[in-house]
Amino acid sequence: MAVMDEFKEERDKIKHGTFKEKRKYFWDYYKWHTIGGIAAIIMVIWIVHDVTHQDESVLYVALINCASVYDDSEYVSGVEEYLGVEDGEALTIENSLDVTDDTTAYTSYEVIAVRIAANEMDVMVADEEFISGYSQGDSLIDLTTVMSEEQLERYSDYFYYVDYALIENGYYEETEYEDQVFEGTAVYASPEDMEQPVAVGVYIATTSEEGDYVCTSSDFNSNYYYSGEVIFTLLCYSEHTEAALQFLDYICGYAS
C-alpha cells in the first residue's frame, strides 16, 4: 500500500474513532510537542509575573555559565549599598543561567530571551563565544559612548572589540570573521586591525592576580567562578547605564 493511502486510512480511522482512540493518537504523536509547549507557556507566565510584581529594578545582571561557589547574599548586599539601593528598589545578580548543561540550557535560553524581550536585562557577563553571538545582532552598547573619561582611561586597554564593517557585510558567518576578530584575548582583538572597531565589552579576569586582563576584586572571585576570562557587556536598551558602569567598577575593585 502506498504511503499516502496508508496515511489516508489512518486519518479516516481517527476521524471516525472514539474519543479514547483520538486522545491516544494525539498523545502518541504530539506528546513531546505538548509538553514542550506547556513548559514554554509556564516559563513565560512565570517571568511576566515576576517582572510585573517586583520592586523597581535598579540593575539586572546576568552572569552566564557562572558557578556560584558560596552564598552570595553578603556580596549582593555590598553592591546594593554601593549603588545606593533603597526600599522598593531591586538589584538582581542572576548567576543560575547555564547554557552549557543539557538539562538547564533550554530553560536558561528561555529566561534570557524573555528578559531581553522585556527590556529588563542590563548587563551580561559571559565568555567570548557566547558574547560574540549577541554582538553580531547589534544589541550591545559601544562603551566609549557612555563611559566617563576616567573609566575610558581605566578600561580602554581591556576593551573587547568587534568590527561592525564585517557584521554589516555578513562576514560574521564566515570562518574568516572568527580568524580576524575573535582571537580570545584583548591583546589580539586589536582595533588597529579592524575597519570599523566598536568596543562592546571589557575583558574581566577570573583570578585576583595581575595579568593581561582587568583584574577583578577578590570578593567577586570568591562568590562567582568562571573557568576562563569573561567579557562584561552592556545591552543597548538598558535604562540603568550609570548603575551598570558603577557595578563594573565594583567588581573590578575600583569601588570608592
CA distance 151 to 157: 11
- In angstroms, the CA 165 to CA 176 distance is 13
CA-based radius of gyration for the chain: 23
* 41/75 Cα distance (integer angstroms): 33
Q: What secondary structure does DSSP assign to 85-113, as a single string?
A: --TTEEEEEE----SSSTTTHHHHHHHHH
What global pTM score does this model have? 0.72
- pLDDT tens by residue, 191-206: 877 888 889 999 887 7
- Which residues make Cβ contacts (< 8 Å) with residue 131, sequence separation at least 6? 124, 140, 160, 200, 201, 231, 233
User: Which residues, listed in sequence order, are joined to residue 233 by a DSSP beta bridge?
Assistant: 124, 201
Tens-digit pLDDT profile for residues 8-67: 555 555 555 555 555 565 556 555 555 556 666 666 665 665 555 566 889 999 999 988
Are the C-beta atoms of residues 143 and 199 closer than 8 Å to each other?
yes
CA distance 179 to 188: 10
Residues 6+ apart with CB under 8 A from 9: 1
